[in-house]
Amino acid sequence: SQKIEQNSEALNIQEGKTATLTCNYTNYSPAYLQWYRQDPGRGPVFLLLIRENEKEKRKERLKVTFDTTLKQSLFHITASQPADSATYLCALGDPNAGNNRKLIWGLGTSLAVNP
Amino acid sequence: DVKVTQSSRYLVKRTGEKVFLECVQDMDHENMFWYRQDPGLGLRLIYFSYDVKMKEKGDIPEGYSVSREKKERFSLILESASTNQTSMYLCASSPRPSGKETQYFGPGTRLLVL
């Protein structure tokens, strides 16, 4: 079955630097991959979606790449700010669910941006 | 903006009690989901529904049931609460499959079963 691996260790970076988070999957390449942000005690919030035929997607300071050969997505936050501190979750569409209704979730990576 | 609301932010119940968690979305989404989230285990799908009165088991349905009588409302029921059901419960919704299966989450209900 499909498994997702995200950096289990928390990432600590200095304000202004670029944060790079990794999402690796093990089996089939999904039709799309999503990134969410989750703050403590809150529900995840959607950030970006990238499709299998897209290499890169950008939104303001966020950039996502998708390499189906490496079975990996990278999530970058440029010019990071303390307000970017949160847990970031990666999720893939589950084709076995029919029409990809279900998502398979990674455990998330905690990011701390230090002022 | 899509809004998903959950009936309670915090709930304390006793072992054996019947517990109802309610979720309402205002964007006419077809799909609705119930997850629980525990440290080190991530988001685990309990049940989901892709239409009124339709439901499918997720990865951990044991001890839970659901009800979807109206499109905007999806209820999670713990028939007889147990301490191992202490968790954060998250409801989500998403539109009919369109190639953009973004899920919109509610704020969560933190349930403590004593």
Check whether B48 has a pLDDT greater than 80: yes
Residue A97 has a pLDDT of 59
Cβ-defined contacts of A102-106 (< 8 Å, 24+): A102/B33, A102/B45, A102/B48, A102/B58, A103/A34, A103/B101, A103/B103, A104/A2, A104/A4, A105/A4, A105/B42, A105/B43, A106/A4, A106/A5, A106/A6, A106/A23, A106/B42
Our CA-based measurement puts residue A44 at a distance from the nearest CA of chain B, in whole angstroms, of: 6
The torsion region of residue A84 among left (phi > 0), alpha (psi -120 to 50) and beta comes to alpha
CATH architecture of B17-101: Sandwich (2.60)
Q: Are the beta carbons of A101 and B108 separated by less than 8 Å?
A: no
Q: Once rounded to an integer, what is the mean pLDDT over residues B77-81?
A: 97
- Residue A102 pLDDT grade (very low, low, confident, very high; cuts 50, 70, 90): confident
Residue pointed to by tokens 């029919």: A98
Residue numbers of the domain that contains A74: 4-114
Residue A95 has a pLDDT of 65
Read off the pLDDT of residues A12-71 as tens digits, 9 standing for 90 and up: 999 999 999 999 998 777 778 999 999 999 999 999 999 888 989 999 999 999 998 899
Structure tokens at A55: 């290499």
Radius of gyration of chain A from Cα atoms?
14
Cβ–Cβ under 8 Å, residues A75 and A87: no
Residue of B nearest to A98 (CA): B97
Check whether A100 has a pLDDT greater than 70: no
Distance CA(A24)–CA(A30), nearest Å, equals 12
- Residue B85 pLDDT grade (very low, low, confident, very high; cuts 50, 70, 90): very high
Q: What is the CATH number of the domain that holds A70?
A: 2.60.40.10
Q: Are the beta carbons of A31 and B99 separated by less than 8 Å?
A: yes
Structure tokens at B67: 């009800």
CB count in 10 Å sphere of residue B113: 19
Domain count, chain A: 1
